Chain A
Amino acid sequence: MSTPLGLRRAVLWRARRAGASPAYHALTVIPVLLLVGLFTLFPLGYAAITSTRRVLLTLPGSTPFIGLRNYAQVLHDGTTHVAVTNTLLFAALTVPSVIVVGFLVALLLHQPIRGFGLLRALVLLPWSIPLVSAGIIWRLLLHGDFGALNGLLYQLGVVHSYVPWLSSPRLAMQAVALAHVWREFPLPAILILAGLQVIPREIMEAATAEGAGAWARFWHILLPWLKGPLLIILVYETMISVSVFDLVYVLTGGGPGSATTLFSWHTYTSTFTFLNLGHGAALSFIMAGALVAFIALTLRLIRVEARSA
């Protein structure tokens, strides 16, 4: 009675074994492992060694082992403190803004209104272009001598002389943050919109019928429903925000002074301007460690949440 099924299983089992030999596994997986290993594992090991040696490109030929002194030096460096403060400030400015703007845009685009189909297509555009292009677009908009924003405010009579958005210390950080938010909000918007679209209509209708207001529905239905995606977005956007480089390069070059010297910019200049590879490697390890710790912590949080739910 069970013979056909048993036979089928046996044939299938043999077929599977015949279909994929260890050689096939190796042939399909090893090229990827090699390529990824060559550009991550080896560099990581190399950078680990570099971070424990004094490596100055201005003094080639002598790279003595100095233990953790590179780490001690960069941790005591005033520029590192400034860079850490700036990076935290930048993340505090951009991550919540990106998520809140993304959420609001998703809520808006979820409404069945004629013409919003076009908006749903357009919303992807800032995210699709190179970060460098986005940065330069905002350089044109915020330029102190002939920027469009200045022109607009001047025409409206809001300002009487042009404002140097990118070259005044107080405003430069906010200008970079604005460009970052413009470029990054589409991703959360799309992901949250997708989340909204799978919330069963009956749940919302039942809540409305029982007299739940917009706020109550937001807090008790939307947020719990979207918790998973929101946490992933939070992790991703924090990583992106903390390691931002391209925007700083084209918008401010870390300045004026050190007003927009973010951590990745500081690492870049330590390495490629001051040519202190030991410091650069130590800084990048500190950054990688902080990021991995943050991700591990958040993933743990997600798992705990998932278990309690």
Chain B
Amino acid sequence: MTRAAGIRQVALGAAGILLGVFIVFPFLWALSASLQTELAIFRRPPSWAPAPATVANYLYVFTGRIPEGYAVRGLLRSAITQEARLLPAGLRNSLEVALGVIAVNLTLGPLAAYTFARERFPGKEIAYFFILGSRLLPAVAVAIPIYLIVKTAGLLDTKLALALIYSAFTLPFTIWVLTLYIRSLPIEVEEAALVDGCTRFAVLRRVVIPLARPGLAAIAAFSFLFSYSEFFFALLMTSSVKAKTTPVVIASISVNPDSSYTLIAVGIVVSIIPPMLLALLFRRFITSSLVASMEQA
């Protein structure tokens, strides 16, 4: 019996290692490639670990200093893509857009969700289902009209346009999650506050928001991950360094046949650090609110 249990443990452990490799190997390979020279990566088979490791590719992206290896190969012009130099700006644009979307979700979201959760008013059901149902539309179906709206408003190639679009796309999920969350909170404290003469808004601010902090953390995380990752609308709406976000920049680096493999790898590594950190830090909030919203559905 103990022997069978031991075999079981070993088998499960091996399966766990296999899973770990499946998850982590692609990331490690991108990291390794980003620290190599172009010459090393072209070997067959490639060198798996960077030997010697070089941060020259990162230096190029962030300071413009051209790595030595390229000059040696005499492929200076073809192997270095100017687009890679847009990466710092793209990162900054992405973060700014994402922070804007978080701000909109954390202000409009709780206000509307609290009203949906606790108030009764004519048209409430219709408004609620309209907001939630809007997420069923495939993005490509509304892309052209949205482009025209943005163009008419004179907001093409601005971060503001992206922040507005992403807010409209994230608010439905925010309101859904927060409404469910608020409904699950004990109502007695709120009622006591109302009896004491607080307004709805005061109850929201003083009672509900402090209680709903885990839900709000999850909302902030989802808003960030969505806005940071969105590609399709960013591709359509932006055209310059003013507003191009990280996914647009790294996509244009990677589909450029002249791009150097190592610079593409730098793009990956830089682009995935913010969302990965966020996912690891906010893991508990993300999973618990995903699970809660699914159970209520």
Contacts and interface: CB of A to CB of B under 8 A. Distances in A.
Nearest to A136: B254
A194 B291 CA distance: 7
B190 to A, nearest CB: 10
B140 A130 contact: no
Interface residues of B, number: 97
Contacts of A281: 141, 144
Contact of B231 (A32, A130, A154, A267): A130
Interface of B: 9, 12-13, 15-16, 19-20, 22-24, 26-27, 29-30, 33, 41-42, 44-46, 48, 108-109, 111-112, 114-116, 119, 121, 127, 130-131, 134, 136-146, 148-149, 164-165, 167-169, 171-172, 175, 191, 194-195, 197-201, 203, 225, 228-229, 231-232, 235-236, 246-247, 250-251, 254-255, 261, 264-265, 267-268, 271-272, 275-276, 278-280, 283, 286-287, 290-291, 294-295, 297
Contacts of B297: 232
A25 B236 CA distance: 35
Contacts of B27: 125, 137
B279 A12 contact: no
Contact of A129 (B195, B203, B271, B291): B271
Contact of B247 (A46, A119, A130, A138): A130
B138 A287 contact: yes
Contact of A108 (B16, B130, B167, B168): B16
A151 B138 contact: no
Contacts of B169: 39
Given A24-B115, A246-B232, A40 B137 contact: yes
A47 B139 CA distance: 12
A105 interface: yes
B290 A128 contact: no
A285 interface: yes
A171 interface: no
A72 interface: no
Contacts of A285: 141
